[in-house]
């Protein structure tokens, strides 16, 4: 499954150097919740891995839209994030208030150089 915003992001939307770009505006407004293109049903899952790019050391606001749209009681969330340089925010702790009923497992940053064997070792070490 993929978290897809109802209004897709364009290259201009993602230009973090432009203070008026969509991503910059969303970053400043913590209450922004971009709509999802389609709901994502997590009902059949006990464990959900939530991945996202780090934008200013946090997840894009559409990730919060997703988290806040589901019932997380009895479910486990593991986050992972990608970033060229940021490390803060990859553990997902800044998202916990968007799904307080979930059991949160500390996430991690996935580097561009990460390989499948290291990822498999990380997942196995989670003991899920």
Burial class (CB in 10 A: 0-12, 13-18, 19+), 128: exposed
- Residue 77: per-residue pLDDT: 97
- Residue 90: per-residue pLDDT: 65
- Residue 89: per-residue pLDDT: 67
Residue 55: give the domain boundaries.
22-125
- Residue 93: per-residue pLDDT: 85
- Residue 36: per-residue pLDDT: 97
d(CA 61, CA 85): 20
* Domain total of the chain: 1
- Residue 106: per-residue pLDDT: 87
Edge-to-edge order in the sheet of strand 47-53: 47-53, 76-82, 103-110
Rounded to the nearest 5 degrees, what angle is found at the Cα of 93, between the Cα atoms of 75 and 55? 115
Mean pLDDT by 10 residues, the chain (128 residues): 94 90 88 95 96 85 96 96 74 89 92 90 93
* CATH number for 58: 3.40.50.360
Position 5 in a domain? no
């Amino acid at each position: 499954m993929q978290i897809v915003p109802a209004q897709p992001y364009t290259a201009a939307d993602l230009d973090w150097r432009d203070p008026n770009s969509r991503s910059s505006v969303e970053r400043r407004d913590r209450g922004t919740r971009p709509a999802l293109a389609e709901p994502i049903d997590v009902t059949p899952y006990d464990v959900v891995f939530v991945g996202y790019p780090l934008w200013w050391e946090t997840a894009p606001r559409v990730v919060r839209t997703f988290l806040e749209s589901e019932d997380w009681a009895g479910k486990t969330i593991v986050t992972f994030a990608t970033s060229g340089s940021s490390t803060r925010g990859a553990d997902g702790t800044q998202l916990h208030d968007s799904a307080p009923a979930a059991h949160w497992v500390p996430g991690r940053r996935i580097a561009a150089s990460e390989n499948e064997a290291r990822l498999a070792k990380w997942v196995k070490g989670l003991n899920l």
